[in-house]
Structure 1
Amino acid sequence: MDFNGKTVLITGAGKGIGRATARTLASRGAKIVGFSRSLESLEGLTEETGAKCITADFSDAAEVRRAMKEAGTADYLVNCAGTNVLETVLDLSDRGLDAVLHINLRAAIICAQEFAKARVAAGGGGVILNITSIAGHRGFDEHVAYAASKAGLEGATRVLAKELGPHGIRAVCLAPTITMTELAAVAWSDPVKSEPMMVRHPSGRFAEPEDVAKAVAMLLSDDACMVNGSVLAVDGGFLAV
Structure 2
Amino acid sequence: MSGFDIQQKLSLAGRRALVTGGGRGLGRSIAEGLAVMGAEVTLCARTESEIAEGAAEIRARGFKATHLVADVTDVAGFAAIIADLPAFDIFVNNAGTNRPKPLSDVTEQDYDAVLGLNLRAAVFAAKAVSGAMMKAGIAGSIINMSSQMGHVGAANRTIYCASKWALEGFTKSLAVELGPKGIRVNTVGPTFIETPMTAPFLEDPAARQAILSKIKLGRLGTPGDVVGAVVFLSSDAAALVTGSAVVVDGGWSAD
TM range (shorter): over 0.9
Alignment partner, residue 18 of structure 2: 9
Q: Residue 89 in 1 paired to residue 98 in 2?
A: no
Q: CA RMSD in A?
A: 1.5
| Larger CA deviation: 135-144 vs 149-158 | 135-144
Given the two structures, how large is their TM-score scaled by the length of structure 2? 0.89
Q: Residue 23 in 1 paired to residue 37 in 2?
A: no
Aligned residues: 241
Given the two structures, how large is their TM-score scaled by the length of structure 1? 0.94
Q: Which runs of 5+ in 1 are unaligned?
A: none
Q: Residue 42 in 1 paired to residue 51 in 2?
A: yes
Q: 1:128 aligns with which of 142, 148, 154?
A: 142
Deviation of 1:10 (Å): 0.4
Deviation of 1:186 (Å): 4.0
- Partners of 2:125 and 2:135 in 1: CA distance: 16
Alignment partner, residue 174 of structure 1: 188
Preserved CA contact (<8 Å) 2:82 2:132: no
Preserved CA contact (<8 Å) 1:54 1:67: no
Preserved CA contact (<8 Å) 2:46 2:69: yes
CA 118–43 in structure 1, closer or farther in 2 if over 3 Å, else same: closer
- Partners of 1:220 and 1:5 in 2: CA distance: 13
Alignment partner, residue 114 of structure 1: 128
- Partners of 1:74 and 1:34 in 2: CA distance: 12
- Partners of 1:187 and 1:152 in 2: CA distance: 25
Deviation of 1:185 (Å): 2.6
Deviations 1:140-177 (A, max 9, x none): 22212211111111110001100000000000011111
Q: What's the % identity of the aligned pairs?
A: 37
Deviations 1:89-139 (A, max 9, x none): 111111111111111111111111111111111124101001100112222
Corresponding residue SS for 2:132? helix
Alignment partner, residue 145 of structure 1: 159
